[in-house]
C-alpha cells in the first residue's frame, strides 16, 4: 500500500505473458469528491481484448469512485463477453461487487416495451378514445350528482360549499378589481383613438359600457379564475389522489363527484356571475376615469351615455356567460385533478392542464356565444 494523497490514476497495460490480455492498473487516492479518471480508454481498448485483470496495489485509499469505474468496465466487458478477473481489486471492493451482483430478491416488474410507430399510434388512439369516454363519464356523473343535489339527496357538507364560495368568490375580489379596472382603461384608450377622429369621443362611454358588460367582464373574470381557482382545484384533488384520500372516500362509498367536485362547481357557477357583476362596475369606472380625466367628458354626460347604451339584455347575457364559464373552469380543474398520474410531476401537469384547458374552453365558448347571440339578435 502506498500512503499519501496522490491523485487517482488509471492506466492500461498489456499482460506480457498472454496475448490480448489487458491489465487495468489503478493507483492513488480515489475520492468521490475529487476528480477521478473515466473508464473510457479501457472501454475503447476492449474491442481488441481477450481478457481483463485489475491491479490495485498502488491504491492508497478508495471509495465509491473506484467502484464506479470498475462497475462500468465490468458491465462493458459483460456486454462484449470479455472475461474479467476482479481478484486484483481491494478485498472490500471485491466483496461489495459480489454483494451487488447477487440475484435480486424477487424478479422486478418490467415496463411494457415500447413498440414501433404503428403500435404507438394505435396505443395513443386507444388512450384518446378512453379519455373521451372518461370525460363523458365525468359529465354524466356530474349531472347525476346535480340531480341528487336538487332533490336534496347529495352527500356534501354545507360547510365545504361555504368555504369554496369564500375561496373562489370573495378572496378573488382584489385581483378581479385590478384586472378589470385596467381592462376598462385599455378599452377607453383604444376606443378614443378611432372615435376622436370622428369627433365623437363621448361615445367612448357607450363602447366601454357595452364591451365590458356584454363580453369583457365575464371573459376577464373567467381567465383570472382559471389561473386562480381552476389550478387550485386540480392541484388539491391531484394531491388527494396521490395521498389516497380519494380512495378513502371511495371505500366509504362517499361519491367523490358529489362530495368534492359538486361543491366546487356550484361555488364557481354561483360566484362567477357575482364576480362579473362587480367586474362590470369596476371596468366601467376604469373607462370613466379615462373618459373624464383624459378625454374631458363631463361626468354627467358619461353617466347618461353609459346608462343609455347598456341594456338589461347585455347585462343578463354577460352574467349568463359568466355562469357558463364558471362551469367550464370548475369542470376542467376538477377533471384534471381527478384523472392525473400519481407523482409530484403529475400534480404539476394536472394544474397546467387545468389552466390551459379552462382558457381554451372559455375562449371557444365566448366565440360560440358571440355567434349565437348575434344570430338570435341579442
| Cell 343578463, residue located | 316
Cβ proximity to other proteins: between 92 and 313 the closer is 92
Residues 57-96 that bind other proteins (CB under 8 A): 61-65, 67-69, 71-72, 75, 90-92, 95-96
Nearest residue to 373 (alpha-carbon basis) of 141, 165, 213, 222 = 213
Q: Write out the three cell numbers for 368.
A: 360560440
Beta carbon nearer to other proteins, 47 or 105: 105
Contact between 46 and other proteins per CB under 8 A: no
Between 106 and 159, name the residue whose CB sits nearer to other proteins. 106
Q: For other proteins, how many residues bind (rule: CB under 8 A)?
A: 45
For other proteins, the closer CB: 252 or 344? 344
Integer Cα distance of 347 and 110 in angstroms: 24
Among 19, 47, 48, 108, binds other proteins (CB under 8 A): 108
CB count in 10 Å sphere of residue 6: 14
Among 17, 19, 48, 104, binds other proteins (CB under 8 A): 104
x-or-dash string of contact with other proteins, 224-263, rule CB under 8 A? ----------------------------------------
Shorter beta-carbon distance to other proteins: residue 67 or 82: 67
DSSP designation for 105 = S
C-alpha closest to that of 282 among 174, 210, 177, 171: 177
Binds other proteins by CB under 8 A, chosen from 4, 33, 158, 375: 33
Which span (80-88, 105-113, 139-147, 184-192) binds other proteins, by CB under 8 A? 105-113
Sheet architecture: strand order including 51-61: 9-14, 21-29, 51-61, 84-85
Residue with cell 389516497: 244
- Separation of alpha carbons 207 and 60, rounded Å: 84
What are the two backbone dihedrals, phi and then psi, of residue 59, each rounded to the nearest 5 degrees? -80, 125
Length of the chain: 378
Angle between helices 204-211 and 299-309 (to 10 degrees): 50
* CB closer to other proteins out of 34 and 166: 34
Kindly tell me which residue out of 24, 26, 28, 36 binds other proteins, with binding defined by CB under 8 A: 36
* Residue 141 is a binding residue for other proteins (CB under 8 A): no
Select the residue interacting with other proteins from 100, 118, 293, 375 (CB under 8 A): 100
Query: Is residue 84 within a helix (H) or strand (E), and if so which, with residue range?
Result: strand 84-85
CB 71 to other proteins: min, Å: 4
Dist. CA 57–CA 90, nearest whole Å = 8
Instruction: Name the site residues for other proteins (rule: CB under 8 A).
Output: 29, 31-36, 38-40, 61-65, 67-69, 71-72, 75, 90-92, 95-97, 99-105, 107-111, 341-346
Amino acid at each position: 500500500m502506498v500512503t499519501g494523497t496522490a491523485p487517482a490514476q488509471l492506466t492500461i497495460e498489456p499482460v506480457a505473458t498472454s496475448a490480448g490480455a489487458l491489465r487495468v492498473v489503478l493507483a492513488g487516492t480515489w475520492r468521490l469528491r475529487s476528480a477521478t479518471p473515466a473508464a473510457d480508454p479501457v472501454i475503447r481498448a476492449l474491442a481488441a481484448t481477450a481478457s481483463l485483470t485489475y491491479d490495485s496495489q498502488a491504491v492508497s485509499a478508495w471509495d465509491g469512485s473506484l467502484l464506479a469505474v470498475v462497475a462500468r468496465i465490468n458491465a462493458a466487458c459483460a456486454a462484449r463477453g470479455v472475461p474479467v478477473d476482479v481478484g486484483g481489486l481491494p478485498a472490500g471492493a471485491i466483496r461489495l461487487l459480489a454483494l451487488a451482483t447477487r440475484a435480486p430478491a424477487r424478479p422486478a416488474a418490467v415496463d411494457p416495451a415500447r413498440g414501433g410507430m404503428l403500435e404507438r399510434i394505435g396505443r395513443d388512439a386507444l388512450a384518446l378514445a378512453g379519455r373521451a369516454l372518461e370525460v363523458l363519464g365525468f359529465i354524466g356523473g356530474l349531472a347525476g350528482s346535480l340531480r341528487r343535489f336538487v332533490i336534496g339527496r347529495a352527500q356534501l357538507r354545507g360547510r365545504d360549499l361555504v368555504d369554496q364560495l369564500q375561496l373562489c368568490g370573495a378572496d378573488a375580489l382584489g385581483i378581479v378589481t385590478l384586472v378589470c379596472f385596467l381592462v376598462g382603461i385599455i378599452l377607453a384608450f383604444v376606443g378614443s383613438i378611432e372615435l376622436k377622429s370622428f369627433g365623437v369621443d363621448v361615445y367612448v362611454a357607450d363602447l366601454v359600457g357595452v364591451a365590458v358588460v356584454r363580453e369583457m367582464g365575464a371573459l376577464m373574470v373567467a381567465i383570472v379564475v382559471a389561473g386562480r381557482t381552476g389550478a387550485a382545484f386540480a392541484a388539491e384533488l391531484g394531491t388527494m389522489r396521490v395521498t389516497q384520500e380519494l380512495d378513502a372516500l371511495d371505500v366509504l362509498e362517499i361519491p367523490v363527484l358529489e362530495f368534492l367536485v359538486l361543491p366546487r362547481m356550484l361555488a364557481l357557477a354561483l360566484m362567477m356571475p357575482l364576480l362579473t357583476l362587480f367586474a362590470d362596475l369596476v371596468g366601467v369606472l376604469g373607462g370613466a376615469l379615462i373618459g373624464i380625466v383624459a378625454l374631458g367628458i363631463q361626468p354627467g354626460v358619461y353617466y347618461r351615455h353609459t346608462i343609455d347604451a347598456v341594456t338589461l339584455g347585455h347585462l343578463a347575457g354577460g352574467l349568463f356567460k359568466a355562469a357558463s364559464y364558471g362551469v367550464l373552469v370548475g369542470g376542467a380543474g376538477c377533471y384534471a385533478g381527478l384523472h392525473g398520474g400519481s407523482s409530484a410531476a403529475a400534480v404539476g401537469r394536472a394544474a397546467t392542464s387545468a389552466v390551459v384547458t379552462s382558457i381554451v374552453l372559455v375562449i371557444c365558448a365566448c366565440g360560440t356565444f358571440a355567434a349565437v347571440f348575434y344570430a338570435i339578435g341579442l
